[in-house]
Amino acid sequence: MIGFSAVVNKTRQGPLLNSLDIDDSTLRWLFLLPSVAILAFLSIYPFLQGIWMSLHQWSLAGQGTQFVGLTNYATLLGESRFHGALVNTAVFTGVSVTVELILGVGLAIYLRSLSRRWRPVFRTIFIVPMIVTPIATGLMWRLMLNGQIGVMNYLLYLAGLPIPEWTSSPFMAMFTIIMIDVWQWTPLVIMIAFAGLLSIPDTLYEAARVDGAPRWAIFRHITLPGIKYMIAIAAVFRLMRSFRSFDIIWLVTQGGPGTSTEVLNIYLYRVAFVNLQGGKPPRSASSSWSSPSRPRWAS
Amino acid sequence: MSTQTQTPNPALLGKKAVKYGFGIVVSIWMLFPIFWMATTGFKRNESIMNLPPDWLLFDVTLVHYRDLFTEFGFHQFLFNSFLVATGAVLISVVIGVPAAYSLSRMDVPREQDISFWILSTRMIPPLAVLVPLFIFFTTVGLTDSLLGLMITHFLITLPMIIWIVKGFIDELPQSLEESAMVDGCNRIQAFREVVVPLVMPGIAAAAFIGFIFSWNNFLLALVLTGGGTRTAPLVIQSSMGYLSIDWGMLGAAGTLTILPPVVLSLLIKDHLVEGMTMGAVKE
């Protein structure tokens, strides 16, 4: 019992924390272990499992599995719908990220040109869209683009412009989801580029102005080099997220009409969870909301 | 510099008007969709259908909010979202902050590799891990459960919290803990009594950003929940499939759904960008 009472005595001397004497080489792993274990379970295990599954004939509902080598890959690569999804992803990501970078850098330069009094106000406003829950973003735009009550259509009508079928033609559907993505994510580029702009010393601009440098020269030789690292970061972050886009596209077009906005994620989701699980084909989204019915004021 | 208030130069004023006019137009572009959804939630159905639209002057009604809670039980789904996000964030903070400390301060072999691997888990396309995880959850009976969803949300919150907090600890002078340890603290005490309180603002910012991302997530919940365990974004999605859409109720639901992230982000707007880029950008 001596050992036991020693332990009791030791813990009585103060909080357990003080008596715990773990040396650094153990502690560093104790600190890391829970996080590493959880992340490994959530990323490495599914990744390996995914590779295993890709080499076997297998379905969510079925029982038996059979090794088939690279057949699944061959099937996938041969599928025209997969090719379509690749192209759609490239178009969606390429166009939206390019537009966001150009708009975002432009608006960041605009923010910097504002007086100290108004800068925080506009900066706060410019942050808001990137915080909005993407599903709510999709909801807002469907409300505004709706064939019957859409306020955007009304404004276009007032301006005497033709009212597009936002999601029923393949071209317009792609345009629409890119427009919404630009609304949601340009703010992120603005914020990153703006952080970069703040790090450029004012003296550089003053010197350039004293020398009488024209605006574009200031932009090309001071602004752009000063934020090119930030632009690269913004591009990487946008590309990473854009490849994973799902929510807005799913809510607005569900990949339709047909498969014209079916990016890789939508395709994967349909193959993995919609087609196999319930067997029910996905509802055609475009028919559910912007059906070709003409707006009331335009008749 | 001080010419701002004095010179009533008309050309300059005109330039200024154009400049701020442009800013206001951009602001309207940024805010109008939110304004439109929020006001739709407070309009009577006739008013929603009105043409020309009722911009500002309309009868404010709470009927959609009432229906949302009484008929639809929306509080259940808001609560689900809240529970999942809060649980994922709290646990991520408890295990992520020590991990951040370890990576920042202690002699971890291959620290660079481990840090980058942690960051890389945030870049994984969710669908790449969802099928195997879905099968795993089915076997252990965790589908359609908030616990299962919460576990997958660690993939969102944990790397983010580790990276953001690590950034904050990196900026803290190491001498602070060293002097605490000279005074007789051991490593754990120095961490708990000195480091954690000092990086508390950073931990709070990281937690809020983690909460926002978890709250906004849709895809994980779409695969892993159903019925009563759905989260708020999922309910919005599933209410949109019908031919006649109850815009008033959806406006109300959307407004309630974006409220927590917008409020939180305004609280921490100075850290927001740093957090969203996981410390790659310092303002």
Cα A138–chain centre separation = 13
- Rounded-to-integer distance, Cα A73 and Cα A56, Å: 11
CATH of the domain at A186: 1.10.3720.10
Lookup: tokens for A195:
């952080």
Rounded to the nearest angstrom, the minimum Cα separation between A4 and chain B is 24
CB B93 within 8 A of CB B214: no
The domain segmentation of chain B, as residue ranges, is 10-63, 65-277
pLDDT-flagged residues of chain B (< 70): 1-8, 241-244, 282-283
Q: Determine, for residues A124 and B106 on separate chains, whether the beta-carbon distance falls below 8 Å.
A: no
- Any chain B CB within 8 A of the CB of A265? yes
Quick one: A149 and A48 in the same domain? Answer: no
Q: Determine, for residues A28 and B186 on separate chains, whether the beta-carbon distance falls below 8 Å.
A: no
Q: Determine, for residues A31 and B106 on separate chains, whether the beta-carbon distance falls below 8 Å.
A: yes
Quick one: A21 and A85 in the same domain? Answer: no
Q: Which residues pair with A57 in a beta bridge?
A: A66
Residue A163: what are its φ and ψ, rounded to 5°?
Answer: -95, 115
Within chain B, residue ranges assigned H as helices are: 3-6, 10-40, 45-49, 63-70, 74-105, 111-121, 126-140, 146-171, 175-182, 187-189, 196-198, 200-216, 219-224, 232-238, 247-267, 269-276
Quick one: A140 and A245 in the same domain? Answer: yes
- Rounded-to-integer distance, Cα A83 and Cα A87, Å: 6
Hey, what CATH class is B65-277 in?
mainly alpha
Nearest CA in chain A to B126: A244
Is A48 exposed, middle or buried, given 0-12, 13-18 or 19+ CB atoms closer than 10 A? exposed
Q: Is residue A226 part of a domain?
A: yes
- Any chain B CB within 8 A of the CB of A185? no
Q: Determine, for residues B29 and A183 on separate chains, whether the beta-carbon distance falls below 8 Å.
A: yes
State the average pLDDT for chain B: 88
- pLDDT value at residue A97: 97
Q: Is residue A148 part of a domain?
A: yes
Q: Where is the domain boundary, A24, A47, A71?
A: A71
The rounded average pLDDT for each run of 10 residues, N- to C-terminus, in chain A (299 residues) is 47 52 82 93 89 76 71 84 92 97 96 91 93 94 89 91 88 95 96 91 88 87 90 92 90 88 90 60 37 40
Lookup: tokens for A239:
């590309």
Residue numbers of the domain that contains A58: 16-71
- pLDDT value at residue A294: 40
- pLDDT value at residue B242: 59
The pTM (predicted TM-score) of the whole model is: 0.87
Scanning A215-244 for CB atoms below 8 A from B yields 230, 233, 237, 240, 243-244
> Which positions in chain A touch B88 (Cβ < 8 Å)?
none
| Cβ-based neighbour number of residue B18 at 10 Å | 10
Quick one: A64 and A123 in the same domain? Answer: no
> Which positions in chain A touch B212 (Cβ < 8 Å)?
131
Lookup: tokens for A179:
């427009």
Please count the structural domains in chain A.
2
Q: How does strand A66-67 pair with strand A56-57? A: antiparallel
Quick one: A138 and A123 in the same domain? Answer: yes
Q: Determine, for residues B261 and A45 on separate chains, whether the beta-carbon distance falls below 8 Å.
A: no
**Rg of chain A over all Cα atoms, to the nearest angstrom:** 27
Instruction: Write the residue in A107, A134, A192 that is nearest to B273 by C-beta.
Output: A192
CB B99 within 8 A of CB A32: yes
- Any chain B CB within 8 A of the CB of A126? yes
Quick one: A32 and A142 in the same domain? Answer: no
Q: Is residue A7 part of a domain?
A: no
Within A55-169, residue ranges assigned H as helices are: 71-78, 80-113, 119-127, 134-145, 151-158
- pLDDT value at residue A287: 35
- Rounded-to-integer distance, Cα B112 and Cα B108, Å: 9
Quick one: A32 and A91 in the same domain? Answer: no
- Rounded-to-integer distance, Cα A183 and Cα A131, Å: 11
Q: Determine, for residues A135 and B218 on separate chains, whether the beta-carbon distance falls below 8 Å.
A: yes
Q: Determine, for residues A136 and B151 on separate chains, whether the beta-carbon distance falls below 8 Å.
A: no
**Rg of chain B over all Cα atoms, to the nearest angstrom:** 24
Quick one: A66 and A104 in the same domain? Answer: no
Quick one: A221 and A273 in the same domain? Answer: yes
B8: DSSP letter: -
Lookup: tokens for A220:
């090309």
Instruction: Write the residue in B107, B125, B281 that is nearest to A230 by C-beta.
Output: B281
Q: Is residue A8 part of a domain?
A: no
Quick one: A259 and A181 in the same domain? Answer: yes
Quick one: A24 and A87 in the same domain? Answer: no
- Rounded-to-integer distance, Cα A256 and Cα A261, Å: 5
Quick one: A60 and A79 in the same domain? Answer: no
